[in-house]
Amino acid sequence: MSSNRTFFVGGNFKLNGSKKLITEIVERLNNADLPSDVEVVIAPPAPYLALAVSLNKSKQVSVAGQNTYVKASGAYTGENSVEFLKDVGAKWVILGHSERRSYFHEDSELIAEKTKFAIDSGVKVILCVGELLEERKAGITLSVVEKQLDPVFAKVPKEKWASDIVVAYEPVWAIGTGLAATPDDAEETQLAIRKYIATKIGEAEAQKVRILYGGSANGKNATSFKDKKDVDGFLVGGASLKPEFIDIIKSRQ
């Protein structure tokens, strides 16, 4: 990881949680001696966002929504608004997660619209990209990721990327499967992603963009990514609900 990019660990709780569990997780973070050079963002389900914000006492920890829509308000039953996130004190949102793309049929154009709307409204974005197993086997990983990123490049100005977007590379075949890309696999793919970003926003800006690895990262394997200069952190799923989340946050020490 480049020394000019702050290590970033996101925790995506997905459709998991209760008042008790959210309280336990946030208090664990409050009581942990977190390294000063790490940024942590946790994404509980929408009903628990305000609780997480109210309990959080760490300046290094922020709260994210797991999804938002392209409108601030109106007749959009069941959607989450960027304005709601801001109102309860959340600063980030996860967009483009493979589960949103596959289960809820969100295409890259809609995700780009959501990304632009969130950033224009003052909320930062963890933007997820990644390929299916058959796409990796076919050798088209980068082509898939480029097509996911291109609509965002078309909508978000280049000067906003480093400040308002963190890219999370999530090989879909490694999410919740127990399979994980090797650190070398992750580095190779994320270096290629950074080079592609550079063709769109320039080398200097691309070097500032943080690219996370998001495929079954856990307390045991996180340290093995330590020396990979294009792996700037992790977007963690199930492990973010457990005490080992602290180990992942401390994995660069």
| Cα separation, 81 vs 46, whole angstroms | 10
Please pick, among 97, 106, 113, 146, the residue that the annotation labels catalytic. Answer: 97
Q: Is 97 a catalytic residue?
A: yes
Write out pLDDT tens, residues 223-241: 999 999 999 999 999 999 9
Q: Where are the domains of the chain?
A: 7-249
Q: Is residue 173 pLDDT above 80, yes or no?
A: yes
For 65-88, write each residue's pLDDT tens digit: 999 999 999 999 999 999 999 999
- Give the CATH fold of the 7-249 domain: TIM Barrel (3.20.20)
Q: Which of 39, 131, 146, 170 is catalytic?
A: 170
215 has a pLDDT exceeding 90:
no
